[in-house]
Amino acid sequence: MNCIGPQHLALALFLAALSSAARAADEARKFDSPEVAELKADLNAMQGRWAREYKNAAGAKFRVEKLVEGNQDTVTHLDANGNIIHAHRSDFKLERAGAVKLYTFSNSEAIAGPNLGARREGPRSFLYRIENNTMYEVWGLTSGDASPLAVLVWKREPTN
């Protein structure tokens, strides 16, 4: 019968602790990488109110407002008179996929408009870029996204 002596037991415990510490250090490095720092900076830069305007096929003007608070956004669509047509709130996360940055949202819920209370659980993603007071969204390029290719340009709203 093989018995483990106190010295061997101490060595085994030391090696197990060392291995655990090394794994923890590797995990910590993942969260302190330059890529993660860049995503944190983007998240910080996104906070606040954004807006964009567009015309539909009939030429009617619309305004869309986005409020980013933490990892949640609220998007509100308004007609030319400022009436709310639709609004929804979503959770989101920022991530990198190779050379591009993704804005992935999920747990969307309509909070105003005819679909009030409707939910979309599954995640959807678009490419994004932030430059000073301009945020770009590029739709239709991610795997499985059947959306037509579209580039949306948001401008930061002045704070009151």
pLDDT at position 23? 55
- Distance between CA atoms of residues 79 and 56, nearest Å: 11
| pLDDT at residue 148 in the model | 93
Residue 94 structure tokens:
């920022």
Reported confidence tier of residue 7, pLDDT bands at 50, 70, 90 = low
Residue 42 has pLDDT above 70, yes or no: yes
Predicted confidence (pLDDT) per residue in 55-89, tens digit? 999 999 999 999 999 999 999 999 999 999 999 99
Taking the domain 39-156, which CATH number applies?
Answer: 2.40.128.280
pLDDT in tens, 118-142: 999 789 999 999 999 999 999 999 9
The whole-model pTM stands at 0.77
- Residue 66 CB: number of other CB atoms within 10 A? 19
How far is Cα 126 from Cα 7, in angstroms, rounded to an integer? 57
The yes-or-no verdict on residue 30 having pLDDT over 80 is no
pLDDT at res. 21: 47
Q: Which long-range contacts (CB under 8 A, 24 or more apart) does 59-65 make?
A: 65/157
pLDDT score of 14 more than 70: no
Domain chopping of the chain, boundaries: 6-32, 39-156
Give percent of the chain with pLDDT exceeding 90: 71
The single residue listed with the structure tokens 């602790």 is 17
Distance CA(2)–CA(103), nearest Å, equals 57
**For 60, which DSSP code?**
-
**pLDDT(100) > 70:** yes
